[in-house]
Chains A and B, each alone.
Chain A
């Protein structure tokens, strides 16, 4: 059984088909990258899986359970945590309280081990992404790169079985990108059964960490395979670079 199974997923916005008959699966312990040019339907796919949008047709199963039509907060409590392409911090709250919100959810509070207090757990989550120094700073004073990491800490606080990162490297400088790559790798090592899905434009950073890549173009899946294979795939090169004259 796959961790996440997506079958024939379709979503239309009026005349535009944003996601067209997409099939894919994610296994436990796998890091899957989803790439594609602008408007390929990557973010829509994320919204569909996390329940913020309802698909027009198709099936989605998480650990064998149907998740079509389930509200977003219940999907999060089933174990799918996501981040957002445009950061969505709780601006009035300090950095640590941002993480505490996720810990207050049913899944987050269930996963706190008896030896850890609520606050200790929140600090641990920030430690994962290296934000402990900014702990008490209000989120509105924190820079964009740190907010990206904060989003990830908040998602990790749910102890998800499937972590979905929407453009985690977007707007980061090379140093920050490098740091985040390392933290994703460390998170992967700490929880070997956790599946991770990453949507990304920065192929260089992405190709280093993923096991498998799915390529979307105009809502359709055009290729799937190991990073090395994808890099040589003619169709993919065509989509990214245009046709050879």
Chain B
């Protein structure tokens, strides 16, 4: 009696769940994240979740540039660390609050993205990846340079940046920061998703597919590439600024190679070219990094590059096994289930042929 009732509820629920588009899944994930802290998480976990939100913004910005426009950047740490350094500089020298320093820093970084985008985007493919990789290394060494230690504080970097909500109690601060980053993530991912799926987004994908054909269709390819570069830089630097205030520091590792590769790893985990994929990827990354590798496997925190190696291996396996990423893999599976259900209703004969049919990526 009860079981039949439950199965009826279940089937009516699945009938709707399987129909919903991927963006509804992303919304479900968001609503899950909104109610998540109600369970009473400790400060440490909340801090990690806030960082995961920031990473999701960062990776989504990389995804717009690389997954949609096809301009491979391996130097996104430039915008991330650059934003962090500019807010820190503004705070230390002028004592400005974060709601002034962050917008200024984002603006400056975006202008800088346009500036370096102009020469960078003249080269293509792997060459572009190499050129972009050089920029954060250059800025990183300038920042860590001994003669400039009075301005940038060398290898130590800036410490003691203000928290977002200094007037709250410690436990409430972590919670408030979590919700703030979640709000930022929601706004930026909606904006990025809207851009990626607008008419402009279509043009961006056309550049990824065939630059020559988009030129022949009258598209000013350079302008669109620059636009994608600037938008991507904007959100990457927003993530960097937020991270700086969350950790209360800005230091040379934020400009290092590993921060250039983390968005790549996260995007491939989630699914490149989806914009909503990195959202899932960022959380998986933090679960793997902070729980599996640190607590279960107990890799000491000094071995940052050992972790990077493991993540790179995971990405290689993912590319071979699920090149479309976990988010798309999930939505594909849901779609398959839906199709299978339809076919099952129509008859067992088609169901068998369906089972034989192999899915091509």
Question: B244 within 8 Å of A by Cβ?
Answer: no
Chain B minimum-CB-distance residue to A107: B218
Complex interface: chain A residues within 8 A of B218 (CB): 73, 76-77, 81, 102, 105-108, 158
Q: Pick from B29-37, B133-141, B209-217 the stretch touching chain A.
A: B209-217
A100 interface residue, CB < 8 Å from B?
Answer: yes
The residue in B214, B216, B273 that gathers the most chain A C-beta atoms within 10 A of its C-beta is B216
- Confirm or deny: A40 has a beta carbon within 8 angstroms of a beta carbon on chain B: no
Instruction: Categorize the interface residue count of chain B.
Output: 20 to 34
Q: Interface centre among A84, A91, A101, by most B CB within 10 Å? A: A101
Q: Is the CB of A50 within 8 A of B219?
A: no
Q: Which of A77, A81, A97, A157 sits near B202, CB closer than 8 Å?
A: A97
Query: Is B199 at the interface (CB under 8 A from chain A)?
Result: yes
A73-97 residues at the B interface, CB under 8 angstroms: 73, 76-77, 81-82, 84, 88-93, 97
Residue of A52, A91, A105, A118 near B217 (CB, 8 A) is A105
A84 & B216 in contact (Cβ 8 Å cutoff): yes
Instruction: Given A104-B203, A118-B199, verify A93-B215 contact (CB < 8 Å).
Output: no
Q: How large, as a class, is the contact surface on chain A?
A: 20 to 34
Residue pair A101, B219 in contact (C-beta under 8 Å): yes
Give the shortest distance, in Å, between B9 (CB) and chain A (any CB).
34
Contact with A along B199-210 (1 / 0, CB 8 A): 110110110111
A106 to B213, CA, bound (A): 16
Q: Does B107 contact A (CB under 8 A)?
A: no
Q: How far is the CA of A245 from the CA of B55 in the complex (A)?
A: 77
Give the complex CA separation of A18 and B264 in angstroms. 44
B344: min CB distance to chain A, Å: 25
Closest to A99 in B: B217
Could you tell me if A92 and B205 are in contact, using CB atoms closer than 8 angstroms?
yes
Quick one: given A73-B221, A93-B205, are A50 and B216 in contact (CB under 8 Å)?
Answer: yes
What CA separation (Å) do A154 and B216 show in the bound complex? 9
| Complex: A41 Cα to B200 Cα, angstroms | 36
CA of A98 to CA of B209, assembled, Å: 11
A72 within 8 A of B: yes
For B208, B209, B217, B220, the residue with the greatest tally of chain A CB atoms inside 10 Å of its CB is B217
Nearest-neighbour CB distance to chain A for B323, whole angstroms, equals 14
**B223's closest neighbor in chain A, by CB?**
A73
Residues of A within 8 A of B221 (CB): 73
Q: From B200, B217, B220, give the contact of A102 (CB < 8 A).
A: B217
Q: Contact between B206 and A72 (Cβ–Cβ < 8 Å)?
A: no
Cβ-neighbour of B219 out of A73, A81, A118 (below 8 A): A73
- Known pairs A100-B199, A104-B202; A76 contacts B209 (CB<8 A): no
A206 to nearest B CB, angstroms? 22
Contact status of A105 and B209, CB under 8 A, knowing A100-B199, A100-B202, A118-B199: no
In the complex, are the beta carbons of A93 and B209 less than 8 A apart? Answer: yes
Q: Which residues of B contact A155 (CB under 8 A)?
A: 216-217
Given the complex, which residues of B lie within 8 Å of A81, measured CB to CB? 216-218
Interface membership of chain A positions 169-196, coded 1 if the CB is closer than 8 angstroms to chain B and 0 otherwise: 0000000000000000000000000000
**Which residues, 168 to 214 on B, are CB-close (under 8 Å) to A?**
199-200, 202-203, 205-206, 208-210, 212-214
Question: Which of chain B's residues has its CB closest to A82's CB?
Answer: B216
Is the pair A104, B208 in contact by a Cβ cutoff of 8 Å? Answer: no
Q: Are B212 and A154 in contact (CB under 8 A)?
A: no
Q: Which residue of B lies closest to A140 (CB)?
A: B209
- The closest CB in chain A to the CB of B204 belongs to A101
Distance between Cα atoms of A30 and B303 in the complex (Å):
72
Closest chain-B Cβ to A122's Cβ sits at a distance in Å of: 10
A97 to B214, CA, bound (A): 12
- What's the Cα separation between A84 and B221 when bound, in Å? 18
Asked whether, in the complex, the Cβ of A93 is within 8 Å of the Cβ of B202, the reply is: yes
Shortest distance between the CB of A158 and any CB in chain B (Å): 6
Chain A residue contacts of B213, Cβ below 8 A: 84, 88-90, 154
Nearest-Cβ distance from residue A71 to partner chain B, whole angstroms = 8
CB distance from A135 to the nearest CB of B (A): 14
Q: Chain A residues with Cβ under 8 A from B214's Cβ? A: 73, 90, 101
Residue from B200, B205, B212 in contact with A88 in the complex, judged by beta carbons closer than 8 Å: B212
Among A73, A82, A118, the most chain B Cβ lie within 10 Å of the Cβ of A73
Question: Quick one: which of B206, B216, B220 contacts A93, CB cutoff 8 A?
Answer: B206
Measured CB to CB, the closest approach of chain B to A110, in angstroms, equals: 10
Q: Determine the chain B residues whose CB is within 8 A of the CB of A93 once the complex forms.
A: 202, 205-206, 209
**In the complex, what distance in Å separates the CA atom of A105 from the CA atom of B206?**
12
Chain B residues with Cβ under 8 A from A89's Cβ? 209-210, 213
Q: A89-B210, A92-B209 in contact; A73/B215 too (CB < 8 A)?
A: yes
Q: Hey, which chain A residues are within 8 Å of B212, CB to CB?
A: 52, 72, 84, 88
Docked complex Cα distance between A98 and B203 (Å): 9
Contacts of B206 in A (CB 8 A): 90, 93, 98, 101
Given A77-B218, A82-B216, 10 more pairs with CB closer than 8 A = A72-B215, A73-B219, A76-B216, A88-B213, A91-B209, A93-B206, A108-B218, A154-B213, A155-B217, A158-B217
* A-B contacts, 28 listed (Cβ < 8 Å): A52-B212, A52-B215, A72-B215, A73-B214, A73-B215, A73-B216, A73-B220, A76-B215, A76-B216, A77-B218, A88-B212, A89-B209, A89-B210, A90-B214, A91-B209, A91-B210, A92-B205, A92-B209, A92-B273, A100-B199, A101-B206, A101-B217, A102-B217, A104-B199, A104-B200, A104-B202, A105-B218, A157-B217
Closest 9 CB pairs of A and B: A105-B218, A76-B218, A88-B213, A90-B209, A102-B217, A72-B215, A101-B206, A90-B206, A77-B218
